[in-house]
Chains A and B, each alone.
Chain A
Amino acid sequence: MHKMPDAQPAFQFVDMRQQHDVARLGMWVFLATEVLFFGGLILSYSAYRTGYPTGFAEAARHTKIVIGTANTAILLTSSFLVAWAVTVARLRDSRFAALLLWTAALLGVVFLVLKGVEYSAEFNEHLLPGFGFAFSGPHIHAAHLFFSFYLVATGLHAVHVAVGIVVLVVIGLRAHQRAYSDLYHSPITVAGLYWHFVDLVWIFLFALIYLPGRGG
């Protein structure tokens, strides 16, 4: 019966289990810093939204909710595929794990393309601060703050998505080369954690950017 050679831990670890726990913990430490990184942006948004409730609602009505909703569904789906890929890789079905990871990466690319379409529409409507911003009505100051948050928060998020796409493609290649198994799967687990976090951030950005001001 064909059996893969068992993976050996790096010298500083007692066993594969400990090595895996350390890798996962390291990623969570990084993600905790990321929580506070995006948290600072969300704090400033919250402060100014309580200050300008009407202006923020008025500005948020100008965001492209169809693209925003589609992009949320796309990221949720890609996250699901990555979670599935992690379970599949542990079962040593490497080719299928690679396929799932690459599909998830492709969905990430679709996300960025749609984001580009959205930015371009907003550029044409003079909604992007720093690129000829204009807003009719009494709420221009609040709208400028809202779209500054929008541009910075979604821009930084898009950078995270771009990094995640590269990571998923590389990890997919490694999976394709049968690098992972039930004993050794830290890279795919850790890459998955990062991608899910990018999804998590978007869930909150979606609620703060696209949903306000729709009800009247």
Chain B
Amino acid sequence: MTRTRRPPRVLLLSWLALLALLATTVTIAYIPLGVANTVIAIIIAAVKGAIVAAIFMELRERNPLTVTFAGAGFFWLGIMLWLALADYVTRPNFPPVMKWGL
């Protein structure tokens, strides 16, 4: 029976990369960059998510059926965000003016 009690290199490197990205995103959040702060935070989150999905969730094995089903969830999420936000961000009176305490 083989006993490998060191983590696979790719898992170890992914974990270290995730922690490094976490440190990076928190550091950058404190630098005033305006809208770029949000864009960078989302991009770093997407990169972290991609590492988790590809390495930890083994999508990099590229099993066609699994990738299709995983991709479908995010594809429909993309459609939902795209269509709904296309509505909200182009409304002339959004958000409506509201008074607190009604």
**Residues of A participating in the B interface, judged by any CB pair closer than 8 Å:** 2, 21, 24-25, 28-29, 31-36, 39-40, 42-43, 46-48, 50-52, 65, 69, 72-73, 76-77, 79-80, 82-84, 87-88, 91-93, 96, 140-141, 144, 189, 192-193, 196-197, 199-200, 203-204, 206-207, 210-212, 214-216
Chain A residue numbers with a CB within 8 Å of B25 are: 207, 211
CB distance from A114 to the nearest CB of B (A): 15
Tell me how many residues of B have a C-beta within 8 Å of chain A.
55
Are A83 and B55 in touch, CB under 8 angstroms?
yes
Instruction: Flag B59-78 by CB within 8 Å of A: 1 or 0 each.
Output: 00001011001101110110
Are B66 and A28 in touch, CB under 8 angstroms?
yes
Are A32 and B73 in touch, CB under 8 angstroms?
yes
Bound-complex Cα distance A87 to B12 (A): 12
Within 8 A of A (CB), among B23-50: 25-26, 29-33, 37-38, 41-42, 44-45, 48-49
9 further contact pairs, Cβ within 8 A, besides A51-B94, A144-B100, A211-B37:
A29-B69, A65-B26, A69-B22, A83-B14, A91-B4, A93-B4, A200-B52, A203-B49, A215-B29
State whether A92 and B1 are in contact (beta carbons under 8 Å apart), knowing that A83-B56, A141-B98 are contacts in the complex: yes
Bound-complex Cα distance A73 to B22 (A): 8
CB distance from B63 to the nearest CB of A (A): 7
**Nearest chain-B residue to A215 (Cβ)?**
B32
**Nearest chain-B residue to A39 (Cβ)?**
B77
Chain A residue numbers with a CB within 8 Å of B29 are: 210-212, 214-215
**Nearest chain-A residue to B5 (Cβ)?**
A96
Chain A residue numbers with a CB within 8 Å of B42 are: 207
Chain A residue numbers with a CB within 8 Å of B18 are: 76, 80
Are A24 and B66 in touch, CB under 8 angstroms?
yes
**Nearest chain-A residue to B97 (Cβ)?**
A141
Chain A residue numbers with a CB within 8 Å of B66 are: 21, 24-25, 28
Bound-complex Cα distance A57 to B3 (A): 50
Are B80 and A43 in touch, CB under 8 angstroms?
yes
Closest 9 A/B residue pairs (Cβ): A32-B73, A51-B95, A215-B32, A35-B73, A216-B32, A80-B15, A207-B45, A47-B88, A211-B29
Bound-complex Cα distance A144 to B98 (A): 12
CB distance from B50 to the nearest CB of A (A): 10
Are A39 and B8 in touch, CB under 8 angstroms?
no
**Nearest chain-A residue to B44 (Cβ)?**
A207
